[in-house]
Every structure is written in C-alpha cells, then in structure tokens.
Amino acid sequence: GTGTPPDLVGELFRLTLKLDLVHVPFKGGGEAITSTLGGQTPISFGAIAPSVPHIKAGKLRALAVTGAKRASAVPDVPTMAEAGYPEIEGETWFTVLVPTGTAKDIITRLHGEVARALVAPDVKQRLDVLGYEPLSSTPEEATARFKTDAAKWAKVIHDTGMALQ
C-alpha cells in the first residue's frame, strides 16, 4: 500500500535509477505476491517473510534484498549494495512501543524481557523460518533509528509528491 516500507523502498529504487514505474497498491503482501506470480505486475517490493516460500519453490526470482546485509532466509540473494546500488537501502522493522512518560524501570524491564525472548532458541528458529532476523537494540538506539528513518523517508515522500492517505 501507499506509504508502506515496501512502497517507500520501491519509490527510492524508481527515483535513484530514474525508472518509469507505476506503483500498484495492494491491501497486503499476499495480494502483491499473487499479482507478481500471475504476471500482472512484473516487479514487486515486499517483506521477505511471505516471499520466501515462493522464492525457494522457484516461483519468484529474488533479485536483491534491500537490507544492509543478506537475509539468512535467502542467503544467496545479494543486497542492493552488492548489486551496485548502495543508496537503495530500506528495511521493514518492528519495535515495541510504550507511551511517553512510562517509568524508566518499566522500560528497562520490558526491554530486557523482549531481548531475552528474541534469543530464545524456539523464537529465533521460528523467526528465521519466516525470514525475520531478530535484532535487539536499546531504547535509545531505537529512538535514533526512528529519527534517521523519518528523515530519509520524508525526503522520498517529498521527492515523489506522494500523497499519504
């Protein structure tokens, strides 16, 4: 959909390479993959998790991942940087949020519990199967990432004239 991380990466790809591509919004990644599998859309940008089974079955060809490093779910697929386009980088990432003003001791405890869960063998194995790579960061690192990503994607939104809905 418009303004989602895959859309923003696709727009960055289009802008960087000065390509004539048209964004086709879908309600979710499943619909986008189905459209690409059916040949209605010749290229798709999406989260890796729903794509992995189709890539491994040889139904979709992964050209590159847009993360800073190769994805463990598809280790033979190069990054955009390895493919010669280091400026095209973007990842879908998830974080745990709490309301502003939450007590520091609660934040510290929650952070510790989430970090421990992410390295639990059963959780790590399940995330790996789905194509997600667990990464724990401090609350301060997450805040810094939010700020960096907000500035980066605000420029892409501005440069494309994208109207968010």
Dump pLDDT digits (tens) for 20-39.
999 898 888 889 999 999 99
pLDDT of 101 over the 70 cut: yes
Name the band, by pLDDT with cuts 50, 70 and 90, for residue 132. confident
Radius of gyration (Cα) for the chain, nearest Å? 17
Average pLDDT over residues 82-102: 92
Per-residue pLDDT, 165: 63
Per-residue pLDDT, 15: 95
Per-residue pLDDT, 92: 83
Average pLDDT, the chain: 91
Q: Which residue has the higher pLDDT, 4 or 129?
A: 4
pLDDT of 131 over the 80 cut: no
Verdict on whether the full-model pTM lies above 0.85? no
Per-residue pLDDT, 50: 87
